[in-house]
Structure 1
Amino acid sequence: MTTKHIILAVGMLLSVTACDKVLDVTPKGNYTTATYWRTQSDAVNGITGIYNILLEEDFTGHAEFTFDICSDDEYRAGDHSEDVAIENFTYDASNAQVRFSWRWKYEMINRSNNALIYIPKIEKMDEDIRNRSLGEAHFLRAFAYWRLMLIYGEVPVVTEDDVLASSYNHPKVSADSLRGMIQTDLLAAADLLPDTYGANDKGRVTKGTAWGFLCKLYMNWEKLDQALIYGEKVTTSPNYKLASTYLENFTPATSNNDEMLFAVQTSDTWGYSDFTTYHTPREWGGWNFHQPLQTLVDEFEAGDARKAVSVMGPGDKVDIGTEIATYSASMSETGYHFRKFSSWKSNGGLNYSLKTPLLRTADIMLLVAEAKIRTQGAGAGDAEINQVRKRAGLAEVSGAGMPALMHERRCELSGENERHQDLIRWDKAKLIDITTYYNKPKYGKNGNILVAARTFVRPKHYYFPLPQSEIDKSNGVLIQNENY
């Protein structure tokens, strides 16, 4: 990792108004810590450089979402050979996908550490902007460690003290230690960040973002009472209410709404992300990856408005800008594509102003419902589940237990990189037997087997192996995860 230099890309879109106005950020190039972090502008641009990492193809631009192809919701499709082993649970430490995003998560940590070291030293700076910037750095570091924890379980930790001491080659820490550090950063972020922003800063992380990830962290940690406390800070706040329709979350002009707690910020004129390209049919400008399976499509109830927004199926009419085209089953191996991640310009071509969702209020609302059900019994989460169902045009439920909650999360969050982690979390808590979901084939549109029955091994497949290349570079300091 580069630790003495800060690399700032050409601006980062942090706001999209009705006119697609972007934050003014002057191209910066390369700086050392001796020549940077002098002014308020340096601080704001430095934080912008951290957000900018989210655009990387080998991070949330695509690679992070590949870890969900293990799930029972989608088929990998595409032409990446490393994905075959990920989907089949036959990967090892040399798998390219295992190492792709490792680099960018640590780059995010590195840039956050620099911000946390040097922003407090800037003499002339508006204190509200200083606090906001430090809150963003704490949050973005926590997000990188959160993703590392979910994928690998145990990883090395690098903090500000390590940067100042030029000490980077560390052994991994336990998952609980990692959760503790993430908790500390998220609590600091929640204390420093504002509740909301004006139009020109829409897209920056807020208190609600930090609270939402605290809720997710505590659910992963099986600290359900704490999850409920922080989840309800989100769900009871008027600042983070659900969008009036599900479609608003997946429409370029409205995807930066109150519900979108954290998203990769892109614009069709700046900030290209590969995410949309990967999910779109090849015939309509995309690369044809991540195809929904029939089992996911069948999960949607009759009348569920989310189905038409989420999935393209045979005979569907789709506005691809230059025409209203008809989707054909021949366009994919499963007969379907995700619709919620694709948008087209009126004059043709993909519209990259559609945001990549990383956290929505609906996710937190359903986690609150889950925490209530698991601590208070069936029916305790009905109010939250029914808010989500009402928006989808569905009848209310009464006395909902975990099966109903699991169904709702699957439909609401389809394709949003949650399913695999949900199944793992529920299996660890002995709420399900994950092998009944994974130890069977994935079928194509004609009933053909796309992926043969797989063998999920506990606890090995709860996490992925650490990249062998990182172990080799550590000269024996970094030890591989058990079972690999």
Structure 2
Amino acid sequence: MKKICFMVLSFMTLNLISCKDFLEETPTDFVSIGNFYKTESDIISALAGIYDVLGKTSAYGRYFFLEMDMSDEQNYNNNGTVPTAPDLQYFNYQISDIKLEAVWSNLYTGINRANMLIENVDNADIMEDKKEAYKAEAMFLRAYYYFLLTNHFGNVPLRLQSTKSPNEVDFPPSPYSVIYHQIVQDMEYAADKVPDITAYNHGGRVTKSAVWGILARVNLKMAGAPLRDHSRYAEARKWAKKVIDLGYHELHPDYTQVFKNYAQKQYYTKESIWEVEFAYWSGTQNEEGQVGSANGVRNTDRNMGYSYGLQRPMEVYYKRFEQGDLRRDWTISDYTYSGNQQVPLSGTNITIYYNRYGAKFRREYENNPNKSVNTTIINFPLLRYSDVLLMFAEADNQMNRAPSSEAINAVNIVRRRAFGKFLPGAVNIEEFDIPNNLDALTFQTFIQDERSRELGFEALRRFDLIRWGIYYSTMKDLLNYKSSAHVNYRVIPFIPAENLQLRDTLYAIPSDEMMINKLMVQNPGW
């Protein structure tokens, strides 16, 4: 069960009835539905297929944390080579971009698999409570995939039944309000039916804590752009508080160990509530991702762990950290590699900002006897308890138009860990606590920066900036740093900000979908 997301699936011949495939030919290689979904083993295999979507290259295997999270935290530095081809991360792509199509197709794959399980789980010869739990898990994952789709693409087709015919290709896009209503409905259905987090010794499965925490995230998005339904702040606060009030969750005393755990296959579910699990090369199926190989500290030593070092920080991100914040030099490396030796960065030259790498996921800690050049088994976080604390604080402040003592305390818990106040021998525990007299606007601004410091490079910054309605302005503000940057760093880091247009809070609907689905509507600006 621990590796449910990456089992070699017996049901894979049921696989993905995509609309694109339907246009090419009538599927003939499917296991009959009547012969499947009969046993608990069938259901577990089908459920594994729904989870499998999370680890694909077009999801958290790479795209979501690299190309599709361009923000004021990072730039995509292809080892110093000025890009000549259009691509997502530079905001100069075409609607036929293969990465765009892969993301769209992969998420609808997960949705279709979820629909199939939801429709057929009652046929299985298992206890009713187990049926309910499996169905709830599938409904939550379907909702989560719609959450990702609408965040990236806006109004999308809402398909709540599995595809059964090659003619089912024309679906109109549903409005945000309808999609989010369905997301919330499905997640709330799952909230009381999935197991408690203590039922597992790992973070790869959906649990009550995961559902509650993601519901807080969903409701914060609904309260922000584009819906701006401020009544949702109360809902976000409610769901975040359920996680807090459970009394189980806490921060790991050592910030760095949280990320070492992802590389070492160690689970601390008190903080890491939900994560994408990657597995070893099995000989028949590669279930590794690119966490740490694409976005780690550049290194060509294969024994330590090869990394392309494609993710570099922006100067403004470095400066966002206060002196003494232990998160900075872990999140963005204070060293480079020469062979298998670390070379510390030193000096005050401005190049120190751009010579660093996104470094949360370090291959030197990877517990893999056969380290690949291109892929790793390092897990990726989807929800951490520190995120829940910060969501609670933000929702509480926005709901009450002033931060309560509870909200301030939630932020201070995160900050105390950041400055090492939970480590043995720590003194002056309240040294870096925030003032208790901040007004609502100042507190919100502080939360926005604190989320960046705590959750940087975890595929959340672009999402946050967009829901706050400041993505375009924040990205354009990066250009203020261009003239003062070292001459070697005045081109590549600023390409996304220069190319960014107002339309880029959403990605274009992929050309394949536009050609196949005659009722689909392209996003504005394309």
State TM-score, norm by structure 2.
0.78
Counterpart of 1:20 in structure 2 is none
Counterpart of 1:143 in structure 2 is 144
Counterpart of 2:178 in structure 1 is 177
1:463 and 2:506 aligned? yes
Counterpart of 2:269 in structure 1 is 257
Distance in 2 (CA, whole Å) between partners of 1:69 and 1:114 is 31
Counterpart of 2:408 in structure 1 is 382
Query: Contact between 1:135 and 1:193, CA under 8 Å: does it hold in 2?
Result: yes
Counterpart of 2:343 in structure 1 is 326
Distance in 1 (CA, whole Å) between partners of 2:85 and 2:112 is 28
Distance in 1 (CA, whole Å) between partners of 2:267 and 2:83 is 33
Distance 1:444 1:206, change over 3 A: farther
In structure 2, the gaps of 5 or more residues are 14-30, 224-231, 420-430
Deviations 1:447-471 (A, max 9, x none): 533224526544x222111011210
Deviations 1:406-440 (A, max 9, x none): 11101001001111111111126x9x944653555
Query: Contact between 2:69 and 2:460, CA under 8 Å: does it hold in 1?
Result: no
Distance 1:259 1:365, change over 3 A: same
Distance in 2 (CA, whole Å) between partners of 1:83 and 1:264 is 31
Aligned with 2:363 (options 343, 356, 362): 343
Counterpart of 2:498 in structure 1 is 454
Runs of 4+ in structure 1 deviating by more than 6 angstroms, as ranges, are 23-26
Distance 1:141 1:440, change over 3 A: farther
How many angstroms does 1:28 deviate by?
5.5
Aligned with 1:409 (options 420, 444, 451): 451
| Range with greater deviation from structure 2 (230-239 or 407-416) | 230-239
Distance in 1 (CA, whole Å) between partners of 2:445 and 2:201 is 42
Which amino acid counterpart does residue 386 of structure 1 have in structure 2?
N
How many angstroms does 1:46 deviate by?
1.0
1:354 and 2:378 aligned? yes
Distance 1:243 1:268, change over 3 A: farther
1:478 and 2:478 aligned? no
Distance in 2 (CA, whole Å) between partners of 1:228 and 1:457 is 33
Query: Contact between 1:152 and 1:463, CA under 8 Å: does it hold in 2?
Result: yes
How many angstroms does 1:286 deviate by?
1.8
Counterpart of 2:257 in structure 1 is 248
* Matched position secondary structure for 1:131: helix
Aligned with 1:306 (options 315, 318, 327): 327
Query: Contact between 2:316 and 2:478, CA under 8 Å: does it hold in 1?
Result: no
Counterpart of 1:93 in structure 2 is 95
Query: Contact between 2:202 and 2:269, CA under 8 Å: does it hold in 1?
Result: no
How many angstroms does 1:107 deviate by?
0.4
Counterpart of 1:4 in structure 2 is none
Counterpart of 1:295 in structure 2 is 316
Counterpart of 1:3 in structure 2 is none
Counterpart of 1:158 in structure 2 is 159
RMSD over aligned Cα atoms = 3.3
Query: Contact between 1:152 and 1:465, CA under 8 Å: does it hold in 2?
Result: yes
Distance in 2 (CA, whole Å) between partners of 1:333 and 1:304 is 16
Distance 1:82 1:141, change over 3 A: farther
Query: Contact between 1:50 and 1:112, CA under 8 Å: does it hold in 2?
Result: yes
Query: Contact between 2:213 and 2:240, CA under 8 Å: does it hold in 1?
Result: yes
How many angstroms does 1:127 deviate by?
3.3
Distance 1:357 1:99, change over 3 A: same
Distance in 2 (CA, whole Å) between partners of 1:269 and 1:328 is 35
Distance 1:343 1:93, change over 3 A: same
How many angstroms does 1:341 deviate by?
1.5
Aligned with 2:477 (options 437, 451, 474): 437
Distance 1:301 1:384, change over 3 A: same
Distance 1:66 1:32, change over 3 A: farther
Distance in 1 (CA, whole Å) between partners of 2:95 and 2:399 is 38
* Matched position secondary structure for 2:292: helix
Counterpart of 2:391 in structure 1 is 367
Counterpart of 1:6 in structure 2 is none
Identity %: 22
Which amino acid counterpart does residue 325 of structure 1 have in structure 2?
Q
Counterpart of 2:204 in structure 1 is 203
How many angstroms does 1:54 deviate by?
1.7
Counterpart of 2:291 in structure 1 is 275
In structure 1, the gaps of 5 or more residues are 1-10, 16-22
Counterpart of 1:64 in structure 2 is 64
Deviations 1:229-254 (A, max 9, x none): 11111122223332332223211243
1:51 and 2:94 aligned? no
Deviations 1:78-103 (A, max 9, x none): 38969855344333423333222111
State TM-score, norm by structure 1.
0.84
* Matched position secondary structure for 1:60: coil
Query: Contact between 2:70 and 2:89, CA under 8 Å: does it hold in 1?
Result: yes
Distance 1:301 1:83, change over 3 A: farther
* Matched position secondary structure for 2:469: helix
* Matched position secondary structure for 2:468: helix
Query: Contact between 1:363 and 1:413, CA under 8 Å: does it hold in 2?
Result: yes
Query: Contact between 2:354 and 2:489, CA under 8 Å: does it hold in 1?
Result: no
Query: Contact between 2:237 and 2:392, CA under 8 Å: does it hold in 1?
Result: yes
Distance in 1 (CA, whole Å) between partners of 2:42 and 2:108 is 21
Distance in 1 (CA, whole Å) between partners of 2:108 and 2:352 is 35
Which amino acid counterpart does residue 310 of structure 2 have in structure 1?
F
Which amino acid counterpart does residue 109 of structure 1 have in structure 2?
I
Distance in 2 (CA, whole Å) between partners of 1:221 and 1:83 is 35
Distance 1:308 1:402, change over 3 A: same
